[in-house]
């Protein structure tokens, strides 16, 4: 068996490949992308009477489009009633950070970090009480997010758009993993 020098041996570790703890209620739905010589198309969902066919029980009440400037961080959003369903086009690359802050949840305190876009077509359902934010990982171009919500935005007392600081879970959460 190969021996390492003392400096390398002191820092040697094996990466943990076990499945990461998931947040209760977060759903990831893989989508089919259709490609041909003229481009591509991805169906984001079929809506019947406001209900999204791929996300049982989710009623679409508003659809939004957001642009993130290169390396921008938008965090943390938090809702008491609203469910978000996010889609990032495959040509863009966004780090999504989710944190369960629901008191008494089976996954209370769990944090999920993963990349959306980056060649994949998927929807991510984010339930109420799960703090969410994102960072555009592209250095030279904006990234886009299309998201569906089940509560219409309001600026009055019924507003469900809350915030906690971007570094509430530590500023390092936004750093690119170097493993």
Q: Which of 10-14, 62-66, 94-98, 146-150 has the lowest mean pLDDT?
A: 10-14
Q: Which stretches of the chain are DSSP H helices?
A: 6-11
Q: Which residues have C-beta within 8 Å of that of residue 70, sequence separation ≥ 6?
A: 136, 138, 139, 140, 141, 142
Could you tell me which of 121, 114, 123 has the C-alpha nearest to residue 94? 114
The strand pairing partners of 38, in sequence order, are none
Residue 54 covered by a domain: yes
d(CA 77, CA 3): 48
Residue 71 covered by a domain: yes
Rounded mean pLDDT, 116-143: 96
Q: What is the pLDDT of residue 179?
A: 67
Domain count along the chain: 1
Rounded mean pLDDT, 162-168: 93
Three-class DSSP category at 109? coil
Give percent of the chain above pLDDT 70. Answer: 99
Residue 10 covered by a domain: no
Stretch (H or E) spanning 9: helix 6-11
Residue 2 covered by a domain: no
Residue 5 covered by a domain: no
CATH classification at residue 143? 2.60.120.10
Residue 110 covered by a domain: yes
Residue 3 covered by a domain: no
d(CA 23, CA 41): 30
Query: Is the pLDDT reported for residue 70 higher than 90?
Result: yes
The strand pairing partners of 94, in sequence order, are 116, 136
With vertex at residue 125, the alpha carbon angle to CA 166 and CA 173, rounded to the nearest 5 degrees, is 25
- For the stretch 98-127, pLDDT in tens is 999 999 999 999 999 999 999 999 999 999
Domain that holds residue 61: 17-174
Q: What is the pLDDT of residue 105?
A: 95
pTM of the model: 0.87
DSSP annotation string for 31-75:
--EEEETTEEEE----EETTEETTSTT-B--EEEEEEE-TT-EEE
**Whether 66 contacts 115, CB under 8 Å:** no
Query: Is the pLDDT reported for residue 164 higher than 70?
Result: yes
- For the stretch 19-52, pLDDT in tens is 878 899 999 999 988 888 888 888 899 899 999 9
Residue 86 covered by a domain: yes
Query: Is the pLDDT reported for residue 129 higher than 80?
Result: yes
């Amino acid at each position: 068996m190969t021996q390492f020098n003392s400096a390398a041996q002191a820092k040697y570790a094996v990466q943990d490949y076990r499945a990461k703890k998931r947040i209760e209620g977060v759903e990831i739905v893989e989508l089919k992308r259709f490609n041909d010589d003229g481009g591509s198309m991805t169906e984001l969902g079929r809506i019947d009477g406001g209900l999204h066919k791929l996300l049982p029980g989710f009623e679409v009440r508003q659809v939004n489009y957001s642009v993130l400037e290169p390396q921008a961080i938008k965090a943390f959003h938090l809702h008491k009633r609203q469910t978000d369903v996010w889609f990032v086009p495959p040509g863009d690359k966004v780090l999504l950070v989710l944190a369960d802050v629901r008191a008494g949840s089976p996954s209370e305190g769990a944090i999920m970090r993963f990349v959306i876009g980056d060649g994949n077509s998927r929807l991510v359902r984010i339930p109420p009480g799960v703090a969410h934010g994102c960072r555009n990982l592209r250095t030279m171009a904006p990234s886009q997010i299309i998201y569906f919500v089940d509560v219409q935005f309001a600026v009055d007392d019924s507003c469900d758009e809350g915030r906690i600081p971007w570094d509430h879970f530590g500023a390092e959460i936004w750093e690119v993993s170097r493993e």
